[in-house]
C-alpha cells in the first residue's frame, strides 16, 4: 500500500522526516527517490536532527557515503547517483546490518542491492508551487508497514 503526503515547505518535509525518526529501529533502510532539488537531502537533514546529530548534513554526492555517529544511533547517508557500477566494491549492503539507519539518495539507481524490507520514499516537485512536494511512501515488509501506520 502506498501512502501519499503533501508538504508545503521545507519545514514540513523536515517534520515528516522527524516523525519517521521517532519510530526508528536498528537496521532501518530508507530509500529516497526524486529529481535533483526535490528534497531528498532536506528529508535526511530532518531525520539527522531528530537523531541528535549536530554535524552539518550535506548530500554525499562525491563522497558517496557519509557516516554520522554522534546521534542516538549511527546514520549512514548515501548518494549513489555517481556510483558507476561500483556498489559491490563499496560494500553498500554491509551498512544495512550495522545496527544503524541507512538513508540512500537516488536508491532507484541500485535496485539490485537494496534489501527486500525497506521504506521507499519518492519526492516530487509540484508544478503549481515550487515549495510544494508530493511524497509517495511505500513500505516493504511488516516492520515498515507498522512504521507507516504509526507515523502517517
pLDDT digits (tens, 9 = 90+) for 86-144: 666 778 889 999 999 999 999 999 999 999 999 999 999 988 898 999 999 999 999 99
68-93: average pLDDT:
85
pLDDT at 146: 97
What is the CATH number for 101? 3.40.50.300
Contacts of 86 (CB under 8 A, 6+ apart): none
Q: What's the pLDDT score for residue 84?
A: 65
With residue 15 as reference, give the H or E element that holds it: helix 10-21
The number of domains in the chain is 1
Confidence category of residue 59, pLDDT binned at 50, 70, 90: confident
**In the predicted model, what is the mean pLDDT of residues 71-90?**
83
Contacts of 96 (CB under 8 A, 6+ apart): 27, 29, 102, 115
Relative to beta strand 101-105, strand 75-79 is: parallel
Residue 37 domain boundaries: 3-151
Residue 33 has, within 13 A of its CA and on its CB side, a CA count of 13
CA angle 89, 92, 96 (to 5 degrees): 150
Q: What is the pLDDT of residue 119?
A: 98
* Mean pLDDT computed over every residue of the chain: 93
Amino acid at each position: 500500500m502506498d501512502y501519499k503526503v503533501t508538504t508545503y515547505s521545507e519545514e514540513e518535509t523536515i517534520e515528516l522526516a522527524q516523525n519517521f525518526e521517532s519510530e526508528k529501529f536498528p537496521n532501518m533502510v530508507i530509500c529516497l527517490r526524486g529529481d535533483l532539488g526535490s528534497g531528498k537531502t532536506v528529508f535526511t537533514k530532518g531525520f539527522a536532527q531528530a537523531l541528535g546529530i549536530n554535524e552539518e548534513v550535506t548530500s554525499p554526492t562525491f563522497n558517496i557515503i557519509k557516516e554520522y555517529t554522534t546521534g542516538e544511533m549511527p546514520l549512514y547517508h548515501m548518494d549513489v547517483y555517481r556510483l558507476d557500477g561500483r556498489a559491490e566494491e563499496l560494500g553498500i549492503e554491509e551498512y544495512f546490518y550495522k545496527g544503524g539507519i541507512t538513508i540512500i539518495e537516488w536508491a532507484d539507481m541500485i535496485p539490485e542491492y537494496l534489501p527486500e524490507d525497506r521504506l521507499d520514499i519518492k519526492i516530487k516537485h509540484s508544478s503549481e508551487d515550487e515549495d510544494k512536494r508530493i511524497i509517495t511512501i511505500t513500505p516493504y515488509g511488516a516492520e515498515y508497514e507498522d512504521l507507516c501506520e504509526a507515523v502517517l
